[in-house]
A and B are shown apart, each in its own frame.
Chain A
Amino acid sequence: MANGRTPPPRTYTNIVKAENLCVSFGKVQALSDIDLAIGRNEIVGLIGDNGAGKSTLIKALTGVVRPSSGRLFIRDEPVDLGRYSVRKAHALRFETVYQEKSLGEKQPLWRNFFAGRQIVNRFGFINVREQQRIANEILQSHLGFRGIGIDANSTVANLSGGERQGIAIGRAMHFDADLIILDEPTTALAIKEVRKVLDFVRWIKESGRAAIYIEHNLAHVHALADRLVVLDRGRIVANIRPTDMDLDALTHFLIALHEPTAGVAA
Chain B
Amino acid sequence: MSGARAKEAPAAAARSPALLLTGRRLEGLPIIVVFFVLIGIFTACAPRVFLRWPIYDSFLVTIPPLLILSLGLTLVVAAGEIDLSFPAVIQFSGFLFAFCSLQLGQPWLGLAAALAGGALVGLVNGVLVAVVGVPSIIITIGTSFFWSGVATVLCGGLSYALTDLQATPIANIFAGTLFGIPAEAFWALGAAVVGWFILNRHRFGEHLLFIGDSQTVAQVLGINVVRERIKLFTLMGVVAGFASFLLTIQNLNYFATQGQGMLLSALAGVFIGGSSVFGGSATMVGSVFGALIIGMLDAGIVATGVAGFWVEVIVGLVFIVAVVLHIGIENPARLKQLRRRLAFRE
Contact = CB atoms under 8 A, between A and B. Distances in A.
A264 interface: no
B202 A125 contact: yes
A125 to B, nearest CB: 5
A101 B12 contact: no
Interface string B192-222: 0000010001111011011001101111111
B19 A90 contact: no
B16 A149 contact: yes
B203 A120 contact: yes
Interface residues of A, number: 36
Given A86-B221, A101-B220, A153 B19 contact: yes
Contacts of A148: 8, 11-12, 15
A150 B11 CA distance: 10
Point out which of A104, A107, A117 has the most chain B C-beta atoms below 10 A from its C-beta: A104
Given A126-B201, A128-B201, A153-B19, A115 B206 contact: yes
B280 A124 contact: no
A200 B274 CA distance: 41
Q: Is the interface of A mostly helix, strand, loop or mixed?
A: loop
Contacts of A64: 219-220
B280 A118 contact: no
B213 A125 contact: no
A147 interface: yes
Interface string A97-112: 0100111111110010
Point out which of A89, A115, A118, A154 has the most chain B C-beta atoms below 10 A from its C-beta: A115
Interface string A69-103: 00000000000000001110110000010100111
B343 interface: no
B58 interface: no
Nearest to B8: A147
B223 A116 contact: yes
A106 B216 CA distance: 14
Contact of A153 (B22, B197, B222, B280): B22
Interface in A102-153: 102-108, 111, 115-118, 120, 124-126, 128, 147-151, 153
Contact of B23 (A85, A103, A104, A153): A153
B74 interface: no
A155 interface: yes
A93 B14 CA distance: 38
A20 interface: no
A243 interface: no
Contact of A115 (B12, B216, B221, B276): B221
Contacts of A104: 209-210, 213-214, 217-218, 221, 280
A42 to B, nearest CB: 23
Contacts of B222: 63, 85-87, 89-90, 116-117
B51 to A, nearest CB: 41
A149 B8 CA distance: 9
17 contacts: A64-B220, A85-B224, A86-B222, A87-B224, A98-B220, A101-B216, A106-B213, A106-B276, A111-B209, A125-B202, A128-B201, A148-B12, A149-B12, A149-B14, A149-B16, A149-B19, A154-B22
Interface of A: 63-64, 85-87, 89-90, 96, 98, 101-108, 111, 115-118, 120, 124-126, 128, 147-151, 153-155, 158
